[in-house]
Amino acid sequence: VINDPIHGHIEFHPLLIRIIDTPQFQRLRYIKQLGGGYYVFPGASHNRFEHSLGVGYLAGRLVRELSEKQPELQISERDMLCVQIAGLCHDLGHGPFSHMFDGRFIPLARPDVKWTHEQGSVMMFEHLVNSNGLRDVMEHYGLIPEEDIWFIKEQITGPPESPIKDSSKWLYKGRPKEKSFLYEIVANKRNGIDVDKWDYFARDCHHLGIQNNFDYKRFIKFARVCEVDDRKHICTREKEVGNLYDMFHTRNSLHRRAYQHKVGNIIDTMITDAFLKADPYIEITGSEGKKYHISTAIDDMEAFTKLT
C-alpha cells in the first residue's frame, strides 16, 4: 500500500511492484516533473516517479470500472495488468528536467535525431524487462510476453506505422480491433482525454497551488464503451460535457500559469545551455563499458538509466 497525496492509499499487483522495484523505474525519483519550473514554483518539487505511480493506479481504476459495468467487453485480468503496466511505464524515457531534455536539449545537441520521450519509454521498458528477468515473472502472472509487451509498448507510442491513407485498417498488433478502447486509457491519441492528463493535472495543481475543478472520479463513473464508426471507443454522457470543459480549462490554466511561464522557460533555456556546454566533457558508461555523453546516452539504455 502506497499513500499518495493525490489519490490516497493505492495498492498494486505484485507484478507491478516487481516493475517498480527496478533501477530503471526508481530512476524516475530523480527527474523533476516540471523541469526548471521548480525554480519558479518552490512547491513543484514533485518527480516523474510519483506521477507514474498515479497513472498506473488511474489506468487500473478506469479499466476495472469498464470491465465491471460492461462484462460483454470481455476485458481479461491480463488486459487490466497490461494497461496498468503501460500507465506505470509511460514516462520511463524522460531525461533530466523532463520536457527540457527531449524538447530543448536533444533537438539542439543532435538536430539529426528525431527523439521523443515516448520512444525512450519503449526502449527503457524493453531494457527494464530484459535486464531484470521479468519475462518469466510476467508469464508467472498469466501474461504472454510476446503479445503483451507489444501491447504495452503500443499503448505508450501509438500504432507502429503512421496511419497514412487507410484509417479503417487496424494497425495495432497487441490487441484486436474489438478491444480498440483499451488504447484510449493511458495515452489517448484520439482526443487527448486520458489518465496521464488526469494525474498530472491533479498533481501539478496540488504542487503549484492552482485550482483544479476537473473531477476524474466522476468521469470514470460515467465512462462507457460505445461503438462509433465500427470502432469501440470510451465515451461519456452528454450531461458530463461541463466536467470535460473543466478539464480543458485546467489544462489551459496550467499552460498559461506554469508550463509556459516566461521565467520558467528562461531557466530551462539556461539549464539547456549548461547541458550543451558540459556535454562534450561528461562521460557515462553504458553497456559493454562503452562511454557516452549526455546527448548520446539516449542510444544506450544502460547509460540512460544513470542519467538524471
Catalytic residues: 117
Helices 195-208/48-69 angle, 10° precision: 140
DSSP summary character for residue 32: B
Residue pair 216/204 in contact (Cβ under 8 Å)? The answer is: no
Residue 123 carries which side chain, given as an amino acid letter? M
Residue found under cell 510476467: 138
Which of 221, 224, 210, 258 lies closest to 243, judged by CA?
Answer: 221
Q: In DSSP terms, which residues pair with 8 in a beta bridge?
A: 4
C-alpha cell at 231: 470502432
Amino acid at 278: A
Q: Rounded CA gap, 292 and 56, in Å?
A: 31
Q: Is the dihedral of CA 17, 22, 26, 27 positive or negative?
A: negative
Q: Which H or E element spans position 91?
A: none
Among 247, 251, 234, smallest CA distance to 62 is for 234
Rg of the chain on CA atoms, in Å? 19
Task: Measure the CA–CA gap between 85 and 155, rounded to whole angstroms.
Answer: 10
244 CB-contact burial (10 Å; exposed 0-12 / middle 13-18 / buried 19+): middle
Strand (E) or helix (H) holding 234:
strand 231-235
